[in-house]
Structure 1
């Protein structure tokens, strides 16, 4: 234990400098160095003989990379006291999710040929010619299937037209 202290303690200022340069925050850098030292002490017996300095910097660097990845996926930690109240509110997303699910359900009811063309052109952003090549059909067929698919999907989403009752239609007489 005494030998470990003799080797590690003089390196702490250099580790702190490197950590501060990496994370650009004094408190986070100190936490990172503390985590590094904790890991080094708990795994002291696993180190290879030789340069302790490189081993400690490797541990510190790997911990920093892990922290950056965690922040990237979870978002940065922000104190509640430092965050304005306007940041807490968020518009409800249920309506968008329900509409998305409804569109996906209606899309599934389309005939296979229309659904394939609609997905290739509208979702995958293929040109008519590219979609025709993929489906091995003429470009005109792609255009007509796409038109029918869009019309049918729009009718499905809007629902059936309700009859207006007693409406008399007039014929034009010449």
Structure 2
């Protein structure tokens, strides 16, 4: 089998990280780029993205397939059927510690013009590169709060424990 004929690694990585989360007692979350092909409750979509809890406790009939993630979940007490194309999964991570993997936004994950910001491509990268090539360059990332104090708080040896910053939305941080 030639490399161009190989299937995408994205669904396999998603399943592996889902299994890792559940084996370690963590809650798997997926961040999804939303467009017309994604079946999610639109009232929970912000900036054309939605974060979904895909844990065993939060879903029923979960299927992590090669083309789609499908499950049923309750939103505000109402049962909803969710269907997300694998190509639209931006990241999968553990809620408790932010460890997981983010995927690049390739042509397959871009929504129609004006819905999502255009990704920044490295210099010399053709815009029409296949989505499969984007999977080859997936990076491992960790979610951390956007407002994180310096390791020593800028004070050197401080006898007081650092105060926890107010809870903020996590941001992706690349781990190399």
Q: TM-score range by the shorter chain?
A: under 0.3
Structure-2-length-normalised TM-score: 0.20
Bigger helix share: 1
Structure with the greater relative contact order (CA < 8 A, sep ≥ 6): 1 or 2? 2
Bigger strand share: 2
